[in-house]
Amino acid sequence: MTWDAIIHATLRAHEVKLVPYVPDNVLRPLIERIHADPYFTAFACTREEEAIGIACGAWMGGTRSIVMMQTSGFATLANVLASLPVPFQIPALLLVSERGTLGEFNIGQALVARTMRPVLDSIAMEHHTLTRLDEVEFITDRSIRQAIATQQPACLILSPLLTGGKAFK
């Protein structure tokens, strides 16, 4: 199975059925797979902050969701993460396609990518980086379980080691 097929199946297994996202090319196979499956409600949002708000509202209303974005989009989120899911104890799930490393061609992406893990660490948000196909199911499954059990948000980062990333040609 491909990484996107594994994540799709794992989200279904945990009844994570709402997917507000900001589009990203590396995420495209997963986004297309989710759009093709009527189990999911998926749609593009105008900003990552908006998608986090939708996910938090949906959780409180009884629907599990995951927000998908790329690294530069994550960089817009420090305020809303620190003022909504973390203090309100809402298990918002984030899936971030990692740009800015291992072949990045845009200096802006490379710079902003370095802010991601320090921000996650500074607000004590659980995060894991998916680098190997044989670990995708375990890390995704356990991260969703832990987020819900502890009522805390979590972030999964898709490394170019797993996805191939977006390289300069």
Partner 1 sequence: MINEPTTRNTAKAVARFDITQRLVAKLQNEEAVIGGIGHTNFDLWAAGRRPQNFYMLGSMGLAIPIALGVAIAQPNRKVIALEGDGSLLMMLGCLTTVGARQPENLIIVVMDNGAYEITGGQPTATTQGTDLAAIARAAGIPQSHWAADEAHFDSLIDQALSTPGPHLIAARLTSAKPAGQTERDPAQIRDRFMRGLGTKK
Binding residues for partner 1, rule: CB under 8 A, are: 18, 41, 43, 45-47, 49-63, 65, 79-80, 82-84, 87-90
Nearest approach, Cβ of residue 96 and partner 1 (Å)? 19
Q: Which is nearer to partner 1, 84 or 116 (CB)?
A: 84
Q: Which is nearer to partner 1, 49 or 104 (CB)?
A: 49
Phi/psi for 125 (5° steps) reads -90, 130
Q: Cβ of 59: how many Cβ atoms within 10 Å?
A: 22
Q: Which is nearer to partner 1, 44 or 111 (CB)?
A: 44
Decide: residue 87, CB within 10 A, 0-12 exposed, 13-18 middle, 19+ buried: exposed
Give the distance between the most distant pair of CA atoms in the chain: 45
Nearest approach, Cβ of residue 66 and partner 1 (Å)? 13
Q: Which is nearer to partner 1, 85 or 160 (CB)?
A: 85
Instruction: With both helix axes pointing from N to C terminus, report the angle between 133-150 and 3-13 in degrees, rounded to the nearest 10.
Output: 30
Q: Which is nearer to partner 1, 60 or 167 (CB)?
A: 60
Nearest approach, Cβ of residue 153 and partner 1 (Å)? 13
Nearest approach, Cβ of residue 36 and partner 1 (Å)? 19
Nearest approach, Cβ of residue 40 and partner 1 (Å)? 12
Across the beta sheet with 16-21, the strand order is 41-44, 16-21, 64-70, 93-97, 154-158, 126-130
**CB proximity list for 52: less than 8 A, separation 6 or greater:** 67, 77, 80, 81, 84, 85, 92, 94
